Amino acid sequence: MDVLRTTLQPITHNLPAPLRTFAISLIGPTCYQTLVLDLDLTDQACLKLALSKGLGIGIVAASSIVKVPQILKLTSSRSAEGVSFLSYLLETAAYLIGLAYNFRNGFPFSTYGETALILVQNVAIAVLVLHYSGKSGLAAAFVAGLAGAAGALFTEEVLDMKTLGWLQAGAGALGVASKVPQIVAIWAEGGTGQLSAFTVFNYLLGSLTRIFTTLQEVDDKLILYGFIAGFVLNAVLAAQMLFYWNSPSSTKKPRVVAVPLKREAAAPIVPSSSAKSTGTTPRKGPTTRRRG
Protein backbone atom coordinates (compact mmCIF):
# COMPACT_ATOMS: atom_id res chain seq x y z
CA MET A 1 0.00 0.00 0.00
CA ASP A 2 2.87 2.39 0.77
CA VAL A 3 4.32 1.79 -2.68
CA LEU A 4 0.94 2.49 -4.31
CA ARG A 5 0.49 5.62 -2.20
CA THR A 6 3.94 6.89 -3.17
CA THR A 7 3.13 6.30 -6.85
CA LEU A 8 -0.29 7.95 -6.83
CA GLN A 9 0.26 10.93 -4.54
CA PRO A 10 2.12 13.03 -7.14
CA ILE A 11 -1.01 12.69 -9.28
CA THR A 12 -3.57 13.38 -6.55
CA HIS A 13 -1.63 16.40 -5.33
CA ASN A 14 -1.65 17.94 -8.80
CA LEU A 15 -5.24 17.49 -9.93
CA PRO A 16 -6.68 20.18 -12.26
CA ALA A 17 -8.27 23.04 -10.33
CA PRO A 18 -11.86 22.39 -11.59
CA LEU A 19 -11.65 18.71 -10.61
CA ARG A 20 -10.17 19.56 -7.22
CA THR A 21 -12.87 22.15 -6.54
CA PHE A 22 -15.62 19.73 -7.55
CA ALA A 23 -14.24 16.95 -5.33
CA ILE A 24 -13.94 19.28 -2.31
CA SER A 25 -17.50 20.54 -2.81
CA LEU A 26 -18.67 16.94 -3.04
CA ILE A 27 -17.01 15.28 -0.03
CA GLY A 28 -15.73 18.27 1.93
CA PRO A 29 -12.17 19.44 2.65
CA THR A 30 -11.57 16.95 5.49
CA CYS A 31 -12.46 13.84 3.49
CA TYR A 32 -10.69 15.26 0.45
CA GLN A 33 -7.51 15.53 2.49
CA THR A 34 -7.96 12.01 3.86
CA LEU A 35 -9.00 10.14 0.73
CA VAL A 36 -7.40 12.08 -2.11
CA LEU A 37 -4.29 13.72 -0.74
CA ASP A 38 -3.32 11.22 1.96
CA LEU A 39 -4.86 8.21 0.17
CA ASP A 40 -5.95 6.88 3.56
CA LEU A 41 -8.71 4.32 2.90
CA THR A 42 -9.13 3.34 6.54
CA ASP A 43 -11.48 6.21 7.36
CA GLN A 44 -14.88 4.46 7.22
CA ALA A 45 -16.90 7.66 7.56
CA CYS A 46 -15.20 9.30 4.59
CA LEU A 47 -15.43 6.12 2.54
CA LYS A 48 -19.19 5.86 3.12
CA LEU A 49 -19.64 9.53 2.28
CA ALA A 50 -17.64 9.20 -0.95
CA LEU A 51 -19.60 6.06 -1.91
CA SER A 52 -22.89 7.79 -1.19
CA LYS A 53 -21.91 10.82 -3.27
CA GLY A 54 -20.74 8.61 -6.12
CA LEU A 55 -23.95 6.60 -6.11
CA GLY A 56 -26.00 9.78 -5.91
CA ILE A 57 -24.29 11.26 -8.96
CA GLY A 58 -24.73 7.94 -10.76
CA ILE A 59 -28.46 7.94 -10.05
CA VAL A 60 -28.85 11.53 -11.21
CA ALA A 61 -26.98 10.73 -14.44
CA ALA A 62 -28.95 7.53 -15.08
CA SER A 63 -32.26 9.23 -14.34
CA SER A 64 -31.83 11.44 -17.39
CA ILE A 65 -32.59 8.40 -19.57
CA VAL A 66 -34.32 6.00 -17.18
CA LYS A 67 -37.77 6.49 -18.75
CA VAL A 68 -36.69 7.17 -22.31
CA PRO A 69 -37.22 3.46 -23.23
CA GLN A 70 -40.78 3.73 -21.91
CA ILE A 71 -41.39 6.86 -24.00
CA LEU A 72 -39.97 5.17 -27.11
CA LYS A 73 -42.06 2.05 -26.50
CA LEU A 74 -45.24 4.11 -26.30
CA THR A 75 -44.49 6.16 -29.42
CA SER A 76 -43.42 3.16 -31.50
CA SER A 77 -46.45 1.05 -30.59
CA ARG A 78 -48.86 4.01 -30.49
CA SER A 79 -50.59 2.18 -27.68
CA ALA A 80 -50.89 2.76 -23.93
CA GLU A 81 -51.85 -0.84 -23.17
CA GLY A 82 -50.62 -2.00 -19.75
CA VAL A 83 -49.52 1.51 -18.67
CA SER A 84 -51.60 3.11 -15.92
CA PHE A 85 -52.19 6.87 -16.19
CA LEU A 86 -53.33 6.97 -12.55
CA SER A 87 -50.00 5.50 -11.52
CA TYR A 88 -48.08 8.23 -13.35
CA LEU A 89 -50.40 10.94 -12.07
CA LEU A 90 -49.81 9.96 -8.43
CA GLU A 91 -46.07 9.49 -8.92
CA THR A 92 -45.73 12.85 -10.68
CA ALA A 93 -47.55 14.61 -7.84
CA ALA A 94 -45.33 12.90 -5.27
CA TYR A 95 -42.15 13.82 -7.18
CA LEU A 96 -43.21 17.45 -7.55
CA ILE A 97 -43.81 17.79 -3.81
CA GLY A 98 -40.57 15.95 -3.01
CA LEU A 99 -38.58 18.18 -5.35
CA ALA A 100 -39.93 21.34 -3.71
CA TYR A 101 -39.38 19.94 -0.20
CA ASN A 102 -35.74 18.94 -0.85
CA PHE A 103 -34.93 22.17 -2.68
CA ARG A 104 -36.41 24.47 -0.06
CA ASN A 105 -34.67 22.54 2.74
CA GLY A 106 -31.31 22.97 1.00
CA PHE A 107 -30.47 19.24 0.89
CA PRO A 108 -27.52 18.17 -1.33
CA PHE A 109 -28.57 17.97 -4.99
CA SER A 110 -26.94 14.56 -5.28
CA THR A 111 -29.58 13.18 -2.88
CA TYR A 112 -32.61 14.25 -4.92
CA GLY A 113 -31.46 15.53 -8.32
CA GLU A 114 -33.01 12.63 -10.22
CA THR A 115 -36.44 13.75 -9.02
CA ALA A 116 -36.45 16.73 -11.38
CA LEU A 117 -35.30 14.69 -14.39
CA ILE A 118 -37.75 11.84 -13.81
CA LEU A 119 -40.53 14.36 -13.22
CA VAL A 120 -40.12 15.77 -16.74
CA GLN A 121 -40.14 12.26 -18.24
CA ASN A 122 -43.21 11.32 -16.19
CA VAL A 123 -45.12 14.28 -17.60
CA ALA A 124 -44.20 13.20 -21.14
CA ILE A 125 -45.35 9.62 -20.49
CA ALA A 126 -48.61 10.73 -18.85
CA VAL A 127 -49.39 12.97 -21.83
CA LEU A 128 -48.67 10.13 -24.26
CA VAL A 129 -50.88 7.73 -22.30
CA LEU A 130 -53.75 10.22 -22.43
CA HIS A 131 -53.17 10.86 -26.12
CA TYR A 132 -53.15 7.18 -27.10
CA SER A 133 -56.20 6.58 -24.90
CA GLY A 134 -58.18 9.13 -26.91
CA LYS A 135 -58.09 11.84 -24.21
CA SER A 136 -55.82 14.45 -25.77
CA GLY A 137 -57.92 17.30 -24.40
CA LEU A 138 -57.28 16.15 -20.86
CA ALA A 139 -53.50 16.26 -21.42
CA ALA A 140 -53.48 20.06 -21.67
CA ALA A 141 -55.43 20.37 -18.42
CA PHE A 142 -53.00 17.95 -16.75
CA VAL A 143 -49.93 20.03 -17.73
CA ALA A 144 -51.61 23.30 -16.71
CA GLY A 145 -52.54 21.87 -13.32
CA LEU A 146 -48.96 20.75 -12.70
CA ALA A 147 -47.60 24.19 -13.62
CA GLY A 148 -49.95 25.87 -11.15
CA ALA A 149 -49.05 23.39 -8.39
CA ALA A 150 -45.33 23.91 -8.98
CA GLY A 151 -45.73 27.67 -8.65
CA ALA A 152 -47.39 27.26 -5.27
CA LEU A 153 -44.98 24.63 -3.92
CA PHE A 154 -41.83 26.64 -4.67
CA THR A 155 -43.14 29.96 -3.37
CA GLU A 156 -42.66 30.68 0.34
CA GLU A 157 -45.34 33.37 0.33
CA VAL A 158 -47.93 30.91 -0.93
CA LEU A 159 -46.92 27.78 0.99
CA ASP A 160 -44.92 27.85 4.24
CA MET A 161 -42.43 25.13 5.21
CA LYS A 162 -44.69 23.64 7.88
CA THR A 163 -47.45 23.01 5.36
CA LEU A 164 -44.92 21.74 2.84
CA GLY A 165 -43.68 19.28 5.48
CA TRP A 166 -47.21 17.90 5.85
CA LEU A 167 -47.47 17.64 2.07
CA GLN A 168 -44.17 15.74 1.99
CA ALA A 169 -45.59 13.23 4.45
CA GLY A 170 -48.54 12.81 2.10
CA ALA A 171 -46.20 12.62 -0.89
CA GLY A 172 -44.57 9.56 0.63
CA ALA A 173 -47.97 7.90 0.73
CA LEU A 174 -48.68 9.08 -2.83
CA GLY A 175 -45.39 7.64 -4.05
CA VAL A 176 -46.29 4.28 -2.53
CA ALA A 177 -49.87 4.42 -3.80
CA SER A 178 -48.67 5.29 -7.31
CA LYS A 179 -47.31 1.77 -7.75
CA VAL A 180 -50.59 0.07 -6.81
CA PRO A 181 -52.61 0.97 -9.97
CA GLN A 182 -49.75 -0.26 -12.16
CA ILE A 183 -49.53 -3.54 -10.22
CA VAL A 184 -53.30 -3.98 -10.50
CA ALA A 185 -53.26 -3.12 -14.23
CA ILE A 186 -50.63 -5.78 -14.93
CA TRP A 187 -52.58 -8.35 -12.93
CA ALA A 188 -55.84 -7.49 -14.69
CA GLU A 189 -54.27 -7.58 -18.16
CA GLY A 190 -52.36 -10.77 -17.46
CA GLY A 191 -49.25 -9.19 -18.97
CA THR A 192 -47.02 -6.14 -18.85
CA GLY A 193 -48.21 -4.64 -22.13
CA GLN A 194 -46.10 -1.62 -23.15
CA LEU A 195 -44.39 -1.33 -19.74
CA SER A 196 -40.61 -1.05 -20.12
CA ALA A 197 -38.50 -3.64 -18.28
CA PHE A 198 -35.52 -1.25 -18.35
CA THR A 199 -37.52 1.36 -16.46
CA VAL A 200 -38.88 -1.10 -13.89
CA PHE A 201 -35.52 -2.64 -12.97
CA ASN A 202 -33.72 0.71 -12.92
CA TYR A 203 -36.38 2.00 -10.54
CA LEU A 204 -35.78 -0.98 -8.28
CA LEU A 205 -32.03 -0.39 -8.20
CA GLY A 206 -32.46 3.36 -7.80
CA SER A 207 -34.84 3.08 -4.85
CA LEU A 208 -32.46 0.67 -3.09
CA THR A 209 -29.54 3.03 -3.66
CA ARG A 210 -31.54 5.99 -2.41
CA ILE A 211 -32.11 4.23 0.91
CA PHE A 212 -28.34 4.08 1.37
CA THR A 213 -27.66 7.68 0.30
CA THR A 214 -30.48 9.00 2.50
CA LEU A 215 -29.11 7.15 5.53
CA GLN A 216 -25.68 8.64 4.89
CA GLU A 217 -26.52 12.23 4.02
CA VAL A 218 -30.10 13.19 4.91
CA ASP A 219 -31.44 13.00 8.44
CA ASP A 220 -35.11 12.99 7.46
CA LYS A 221 -37.36 10.04 8.29
CA LEU A 222 -40.11 11.18 5.93
CA ILE A 223 -37.83 10.81 2.93
CA LEU A 224 -36.28 7.56 4.18
CA TYR A 225 -39.58 5.80 4.81
CA GLY A 226 -40.82 6.86 1.39
CA PHE A 227 -37.81 5.27 -0.31
CA ILE A 228 -38.20 2.06 1.72
CA ALA A 229 -41.87 1.69 0.82
CA GLY A 230 -41.10 2.53 -2.80
CA PHE A 231 -38.45 -0.17 -2.93
CA VAL A 232 -40.90 -2.80 -1.68
CA LEU A 233 -43.49 -2.00 -4.35
CA ASN A 234 -40.84 -1.64 -7.05
CA ALA A 235 -39.78 -5.16 -6.10
CA VAL A 236 -43.36 -6.34 -6.68
CA LEU A 237 -43.39 -4.71 -10.13
CA ALA A 238 -40.04 -6.32 -10.96
CA ALA A 239 -41.39 -9.72 -9.85
CA GLN A 240 -44.42 -9.25 -12.12
CA MET A 241 -42.14 -8.33 -15.00
CA LEU A 242 -40.20 -11.56 -14.52
CA PHE A 243 -43.37 -13.65 -14.09
CA TYR A 244 -44.95 -12.34 -17.31
CA TRP A 245 -41.67 -12.14 -19.22
CA ASN A 246 -42.64 -14.65 -21.91
CA SER A 247 -46.36 -13.95 -21.77
CA PRO A 248 -48.23 -11.97 -24.44
CA SER A 249 -49.08 -8.40 -23.57
CA SER A 250 -52.62 -9.38 -22.63
CA THR A 251 -54.42 -12.64 -22.01
CA LYS A 252 -57.83 -11.14 -22.58
CA LYS A 253 -59.55 -12.95 -25.43
CA PRO A 254 -61.02 -10.80 -28.18
CA ARG A 255 -64.79 -10.58 -28.21
CA VAL A 256 -66.25 -12.72 -30.97
CA VAL A 257 -69.52 -11.56 -32.50
CA ALA A 258 -71.55 -14.27 -34.24
CA VAL A 259 -72.71 -13.15 -37.68
CA PRO A 260 -75.69 -15.10 -39.07
CA LEU A 261 -74.93 -16.77 -42.36
CA LYS A 262 -77.14 -15.80 -45.28
CA ARG A 263 -78.88 -18.81 -46.80
CA GLU A 264 -78.48 -18.80 -50.55
CA ALA A 265 -81.59 -19.33 -52.63
CA ALA A 266 -81.80 -22.70 -54.34
CA ALA A 267 -80.89 -22.50 -58.01
CA PRO A 268 -83.74 -23.35 -60.39
CA ILE A 269 -83.50 -26.62 -62.29
CA VAL A 270 -82.83 -25.88 -65.92
CA PRO A 271 -83.46 -28.60 -68.52
CA SER A 272 -80.35 -29.78 -70.23
CA SER A 273 -79.45 -28.28 -73.56
CA SER A 274 -79.64 -31.67 -75.33
CA ALA A 275 -83.21 -32.17 -74.27
CA LYS A 276 -84.14 -28.76 -75.58
CA SER A 277 -82.49 -29.31 -78.93
CA THR A 278 -84.10 -32.72 -79.73
CA GLY A 279 -87.47 -31.84 -78.30
CA THR A 280 -87.73 -35.28 -76.71
CA THR A 281 -89.10 -36.04 -73.31
CA PRO A 282 -87.81 -38.60 -70.92
CA ARG A 283 -89.28 -42.06 -71.43
CA LYS A 284 -91.73 -43.37 -68.93
CA GLY A 285 -90.64 -46.26 -66.81
CA PRO A 286 -92.06 -49.74 -67.11
CA THR A 287 -94.53 -49.17 -64.28
CA THR A 288 -96.10 -46.19 -66.01
CA ARG A 289 -96.31 -47.66 -69.58
CA ARG A 290 -99.91 -48.04 -70.85
CA ARG A 291 -100.97 -51.64 -71.44
CA GLY A 292 -102.25 -52.63 -74.91
Tens digits of residue pLDDT in 105-142: 888 887 788 888 889 999 999 999 999 988 888 999 99
C-alpha–C-alpha distance, residues 162 and 270, integer Å: 97
3-state secondary structure of 284: coil
Which among 71, 51, 66, 63 has a CA at the least distance from the CA of 113? 63
Q: What are phi and psi of 249, to 5 degrees?
A: -60, -25
Which among 178, 185, 186 has a CA at the least distance from the CA of 240? 186
Which pTM does this prediction carry?
0.63
The string of pLDDT tens digits covering residues 144-196 is 999 999 999 999 889 998 899 889 888 877 877 888 888 888 888 787 777 77
Which among 242, 232, 107 has a CA at the least distance from the CA of 175? 232
C-alpha–C-alpha distance, residues 114 and 91, integer Å: 13
* Predicted local confidence at residue 154, as pLDDT: 93
C-alpha–C-alpha distance, residues 70 and 75, integer Å: 9
The string of pLDDT tens digits covering residues 53-102 is 888 888 888 777 888 888 998 999 888 887 888 888 988 998 999 999 99
